[in-house]
């Protein structure tokens, strides 16, 4: 009996060591699993944030002063479009909720949503204050799924003007036209290697040039696709009558 007891006592340290090693392995594996879960969760969050798109035809996300447009003072209202996509391939999967703020005027809504998962848009009608002078500022801020602010200023002034927002390295530029007269056709002459986005149904090909149909007293924007990303088409507040010739800089 004494010999058997001694054998049992000799086995106990071995069993304890095995239990300790097993516990260490479990803790290490659990730590690895937790770390992997946190890493995967972090990667998912980054991926989801990178797939958030909120754009506009006139408003822009800026760190300083936003874009400025000129609006006919006699224009009782104008429209701004919001989108949940950058293009047909890059669409926000979640619903976007936003708020609208207007200074020196009002909007037809103070908040709204754009359904996710499919390219969609939401119009905002801005009404400048009666007998307003100076600038109407419009700010739209998303409240979910992520926070983003788009803004622009609209100066009340007469005369047709156009501007082009562009920079070297961009594959597309944005032509913005402020049409203060009645409905008309505007001829567009573009440089070689530059074409308008074919999703804009107001633009039609006409020989070597294009024509844009304005319904009058409104602000319009056209995306211009560039074959050469090194080209910079930037222009600011250029007056025009019935033709915009970007090719020769007028």
- 126, 165: one domain: no
* Domain housing 194: 159-250
Reply yes or no on whether the pLDDT at 125 is more than 80: yes
| Residue-wise pLDDT tens digits, 199-230 | 888 999 999 999 999 988 888 999 999 999 99
pTM: 0.61
Reply yes or no on whether the pLDDT at 25 is more than 70: no
User: Region 229-249: what's the mean pLDDT?
Assistant: 86
Q: Domain of 164: which CATH number?
A: 2.60.40
**Cα gap 27→180, rounded to integer Å:** 72
Neighbours of 116 (CB within 10 A): 15
Reply yes or no on whether the pLDDT at 128 is more than 80: yes
> What is the 3 state secondary structure string of the chain?
CHHHHHHHHHHHHHHHHHHHHHHHHHHHHHHHHHHHHHHHHHHHHHHHHHCCCCEECCCECCCCCCCEEEECCCCCCEEEEEECECCCCCECCCCEEEEEEEECEEECCCEEEECCCCCCEEEEEEEECCCCCCEEEEEEEEEECCCCEEEEEEEECCCCEEEEECCCCCCEEEEEEEEEEEEEEEEEECCCCEEECCCCCCEEEECCEEEEEEEEEEEEEEEEEECCCCCCCCEEEEECCCEEECCCCC
| Residue-wise pLDDT tens digits, 167-202 | 999 999 999 998 887 888 999 999 999 999 988 889
User: Region 114-142: what's the mean pLDDT?
Assistant: 91
The residue that leads in pLDDT, 216 or 61, is 61
At which of 50, 70, 85 does a domain end?
50
Q: Please report the pLDDT score of residue 23 as a whole number.
A: 60
Task: Report the domain count for the chain.
Answer: 3
At which of 158, 183, 201 does a domain end?
158
């Amino acid at each position: 009996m004494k010999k058997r007891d001694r054998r049992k006592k000799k086995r106990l340290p071995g069993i304890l060591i095995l239990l300790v090693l097993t516990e260490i392995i479990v803790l290490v594996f659990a730590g690895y699993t937790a770390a992997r879960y946190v890493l995967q969760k972090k990667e998912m969050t980054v991926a989801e944030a990178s797939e958030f798109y909120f754009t506009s035809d006139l408003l822009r996300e800026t760190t300083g002063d936003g874009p400025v447009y000129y609006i006919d003072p006699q224009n009782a209202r104008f429209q701004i479009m919001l989108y949940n996509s950058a293009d047909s391939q890059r669409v926000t999967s979640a619903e976007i909720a936003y708020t609208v703020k207007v200074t020196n005027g009002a909007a037809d809504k103070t908040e709204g949503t754009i359904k996710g998962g499919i390219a969609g848009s939401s119009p905002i009608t801005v009404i400048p204050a009666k007998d307003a002078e100076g600038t109407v500022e419009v700010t739209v801020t998303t409240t979910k799924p992520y926070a983003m602010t788009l803004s622009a200023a609209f100066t009340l002034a007469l005369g047709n003007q156009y501007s082009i927002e562009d920079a070297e390295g961009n594959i597309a530029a944005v032509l913005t036209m402020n049409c203060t007269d009645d409905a008309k056709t505007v001829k567009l002459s573009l440089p070689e290697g530059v074409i308008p986005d074919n999703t804009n149904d107001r633009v039609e090909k006409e020989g070597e040039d294009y024509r844009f149909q304005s319904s009058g007293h409104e602000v319009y924007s056209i995306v211009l696709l560039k074959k050469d990303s090194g080209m910079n088409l930037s222009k600011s507040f250029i007056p025009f009558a019935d033709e915009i010739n970007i090719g020769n800089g007028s």
